[in-house]
Amino acid sequence: MDLSLVIVSVAAFLTPTLLARFKVSLIPTTVAEIIVGVILGRSCFNIIHINSVLNTLSTLGTIMLLFLSGMEIDFSLFKKSKPTTVLAAKKARNKTKESPLKSAIIAYSLTIVSSIILGVLFKVCGLFSDVFLSVILFATVSLGVMISILKENNLLGQSYGQTLLLFGVLGEIIPLLGLTIYSSIKSGNGGTLWLLSLVFLAAAYLLARFRNFFNVFGKLTKSTTQLDMRFAFLVIVILVVLATSVGAENILGAFLAGIVIKLLEPEEATEEKLNAIGYGFLIPFFFILTGVKLNLIALLGSKATLTLIPLLLVAFLVAKMPAYYSFKKLFSQRNALAGTFLVETTMTLVISGVAVAQNIHALNNQQGGALTLAAVLTCLIGPMLFKKLYQPKDEQLPKTIVHIIGTTVTSVATCHQLPHDWYDTRLYTRHSESYETYKNSAPVTLLDTMEPSALIKQGIFDTDILVITDLHSKINYSLAVAAKKYGVERVLVRLDDPDPNEIDVMKKELTNLKIEYFNTFDTGVGVFRTAIESPEVLRFITSTTSSLFEVTMTNARFDGSLIPDLPETDEVVISKIVRNGKFVDPRDDLRLQLGDHLIMAGPREVVSRLRLLLDNQLG
């Protein structure tokens, strides 16, 4: 039995276990694995000896790391939807021009500029003669380390995490292509660069040929065949082998394979199995063996290396610092700085780049060692500073705007009881006596007219939820229809007309327009029936300390998740799920879908955290 294989396996198991046991949150798991590798490797105890098996596992870990990186991209960020209503167009104009994609592109463009400046400075100072290679290495981002940390902090489903992820994608794929071109030219194979396009063509062919694979073949899979997993690894093998055959790096093929599988929209269960194989088995081997391969004694024994290490470390850090000015347009200054430190992580491609450059004699051993050690140090400094600086509370969900037309004792009480950190509520009335009665106790505005055009001009229809509770049903009906056509997402209207035939006509039209309606009689009967049939439910409805809450699931990260897999669900009770207008029982085997409305009861602070996580409207 290979003792080194056993030691690495034990280290892969114990490292995250001990971090969790002693509550060490400042050091990311991936960074801790590198440190463990350094301790067990040539730099310290030297009890792990690299052999063909460990080399193979490390290579497979690299491939899986880049494959899963490609699968983490949220491609909905690249889509632009054209506004279909007046209100949607107005919101689009008023919304900040910044977006995760734009912010990431600007931030990385600034990184490229600063990397070029640093490359020129290093050449002038005689530290590196090859500016192009310097730019490639300074502009590199360790996407795998970033994703591990974003996963640990549940940030990949938010625009903050997606912005950093997109920056990392650019910082991985652009230097990767640059390194491929560089090595081809330096090794005298520049004439075969066109072969690189074959990898992208193969990825496009696989995407087009297997467009409906997970819908069709997924039904045929069994526990003994696992067709989804076989297909995923088939795509990886094809693109990795093709990439290496045309002179590119294997990680380019792996990354493209991840993109292909992501665009084919696999089920959540498939993604979970791939993550389990990657993060549970292969990827820890890559990080631990990266530390094992470092020989700090030899590196630190050279004066030239000792001089280069701090200079290169500063260069790696300075190259990404201009990204802060782009990030702070979307996020708080503290979180923008935290994100900047996270994108400082530079290791995976630097290690590959150093090996390639040394093979073509573009770097000497001292330069290569200094680059490797400086890159590893960025993976220690960047994540730790990110964990220290990042504040989740800075990225709060925007308040839901609620406008209520019709000021009564009930509407005023509702305005007071709605959580003020969740809702921004305003009342409107056309009756001067109601205005005079409630103006000192609630945010009430007196209306001169109830004409829809006038209300639009005053901005009353510029809201997320419009509640119309005037006494006259015909006025309420016309306002509701006008508001829905204007683009108000949710409209609730009171219908108390005594003519049943007229009410039926109104209800049909409101139903077609997806407008919610109610009348005071039915509402009263419903509460009375609940008091008789379900006293505990009535207690929740009428209690001022305990409440029922509704959370809308819009975070694509949890699409397809099981209810028991949601965080903190042991502290809340999910009583119903509303899906496409129908009530669904929240069974443990029910998979959530985007747009589900979760009706739950529990501590308000816990529900607030769940809402922030599931109702993903940041940015």
201 and 348 assigned to the same domain: yes
**What is the spatial distance between Cα 181 and Cα 195, in angstroms, rounded to a whole number?**
11
pLDDT, tens digit, for every residue of 387-432? Answer: 888 887 545 557 889 999 988 888 888 888 787 877 899 999 988 8
pLDDT, tens digit, for every residue of 293-326? Answer: 878 887 777 777 788 889 999 999 999 999 999 9
CA distances from 87 to 4, 155, 236, 405, 486 (A): 64, 30, 45, 18, 6
Range(s) of the domain holding residue 434: 400-538
467 and 503 assigned to the same domain: yes
518 and 595 assigned to the same domain: no
Strand order in the sheet with 423-429: 444-446, 423-429, 400-405, 465-468, 490-494, 516-518
**pTM reported for the whole predicted model:** 0.68
pLDDT tops 70 at residue 540:
no
353 and 474 assigned to the same domain: no
Tokens representing 332? 């708080």
387 and 411 assigned to the same domain: no
**What is the spatial distance between Cα 492 and Cα 515, in angstroms, rounded to a whole number?**
6
* The domain boundary residue, chosen from 488, 509, 538: 538
Query: What is the domain count for the chain?
Result: 3
- The phi and psi torsions of 321 (rounded to 5 degrees) equal -60, -35
* Domain membership flag for residue 231: yes
pLDDT tops 90 at residue 248:
no
472 and 345 assigned to the same domain: no
285 and 241 assigned to the same domain: yes
pLDDT tops 70 at residue 79:
no
* Domain membership flag for residue 619: no
* The domain boundary residue, chosen from 369, 394, 419: 394
* Domain membership flag for residue 347: yes
Per-residue confidence at 9, pLDDT binned at 50, 70, 90? Answer: very high
499 and 430 assigned to the same domain: yes
32 and 121 assigned to the same domain: yes
* The domain boundary residue, chosen from 538, 569, 597: 538
571 and 513 assigned to the same domain: no
530 and 596 assigned to the same domain: no
- The phi and psi torsions of 597 (rounded to 5 degrees) equal -105, 115
134 and 181 assigned to the same domain: yes
pLDDT, tens digit, for every residue of 152-190? Answer: 777 876 778 888 988 988 998 888 888 878 877 776 666
**Residue percentage of the chain with pLDDT more than 90:** 26
The CATH number linked to 522 is 3.40.50.720
The residue written with tokens 């640990």 in the block is 152
- Residue 188's pLDDT is 66
pLDDT, tens digit, for every residue of 482-530? Answer: 999 999 989 999 888 667 788 888 888 888 988 988 887 777 777 677 6
The CATH number linked to 241 is 1.20.1530.20
Per-residue confidence at 618, pLDDT binned at 50, 70, 90? Answer: very low
